[in-house]
Amino acid sequence: MKRKMMVLISSFLSGLCIAFGATVYLMCLSFGSNFRFLGAFLFGIGLFTIIHFGFWLYTGRVGKVLDNKPKYILDLIVCLIGNFLGVAFVSGLMLLTRQAETLKEIAAPIVEAKQNDAPYSIYINAVFCGVMIYLAVVGHEMCPYSLGKVLFAFLPIVLFIIVGFDHCVANLSYYMYAGSYSWKGVLYFLLMILGNASGSILFDGLVKLVIRFGVSKKKKEDSNDEYLVQ
């Protein structure tokens, strides 16, 4: 129970960070399309903060399923709940501020485009978003250079924002600002959740396969070298 509470609080804080990122992205769009790249970059501050403090973000943690026991799935469910609560908290409060009308106006067409999209398109966009978040988180962890860590944390985020890939947690903020609530939206969020997981887990599995093949090949080469020496 103590661990679940830690995960819930940590994931709530992640939700706050993602909501701040989504909010600043929308506000940048309100200044014109020329500010889209700035908004995409500033969105990355949310994930960078999450990585720096080690907070739980569903899309950043789901890729580690293969490294954990089955009970880890329960942690992910708690994490997702906490993420949504954090996003809902920030977005709900922002709807009470003077920026509310601007956020509604900018978020509405974004959400409308998603709602008019085909289910398979939503899923594919979510899969690719899962890959981008995996690259951001794992790339940051593995890169030995400070500049590289920063680039890994930001560039995949800029890419997924500019292209329009679907991030299940960030999208909740857009939907709340747009005031869009429907059963179709619930279905699409389930597709986003599954898609984000699929992309991250699949990419992680392929990376592990490549590493394992490389290690096995190296061992075989070392074994052959040893045989030649003898």
Give 42-101 pLDDT, tens digit per residue: 999 999 999 999 999 999 999 999 999 999 999 999 999 999 999 999 999 999 999 999
Is the Cβ–Cβ distance between 171 and 112 less than 8 Å? no
Looking up residue 25, the CATH number of its domain turns out to be: 1.20.1080.10
Phi (first) and psi of residue 68, to 5 degrees: -130, 170
Please work out, in degrees rounded to the nearest 5, the angle formed at the alpha carbon of residue 200 by the alpha carbons of 3 and 159: 115
Supply the range of the domain harboring residue 215.
2-229
Longest dimension (CA), the chain: 79
**What is the number of domains present in the chain?**
1
What pLDDT score was predicted for residue 8? 97
Q: In the chain, which stretches have pLDDT less than 50?
A: 227-230
What pLDDT score was predicted for residue 228? 46
User: Any residues with CB less than 8 A from the CB of 102 and at least 6 apart, and which?
Assistant: 26, 27, 30
What pLDDT score was predicted for residue 227? 45
